Amino acid sequence: MIADKDTRVALEEQLRTEVANGHPLFGKTIIAIARCDACDEVVFGVEEDPAWFAQVHLTWGSAPDRPPWPDSRRLSLPLADSLLGHHH
């Protein structure tokens, strides 16, 4: 979980910077909910009906990437099961 509001906001802004038209997360309302300290993977909640979650590998670019970047995948529920394979 991301406890620090400034970190959460910075990750959300970075995702909005990186996604371009044609990316599944383009134009979506997102909330950063977790991040891996060992890499650039972030889990975002996507505010739609129904809500869903995406795991995104941020590129830390300063302009929109060409889809399919940043790499992302839709997570299934429960989230803990979806993230079991994430290790270093």
Could you read off the pLDDT of 3-26 as tens digits, one per residue? 799 999 999 999 999 999 999 999
Q: Which domain holds residue 55?
A: 5-82
Supply 62's token pair. Answer: 């300063």
In the DSSP assignment, the letter for residue 21 is T
Could you read off the pLDDT of 21-76 as tens digits, one per residue? 999 999 999 999 999 888 889 999 999 999 999 999 999 999 999 999 999 999 98
Supply 44's token pair. Answer: 């975002």
Report which of 23, 22, 25, 17 is spatially closest to residue 63, judged by C-alpha positions. 17
CA 68 from chain centre, in angstroms, equals 13
pLDDT at residue 39 in the model: 86
Number of folded domains that form the chain: 1
Query: Per the domain annotation, does 87 fall within a domain?
Result: no
Query: Per the domain annotation, does 20 fall within a domain?
Result: yes
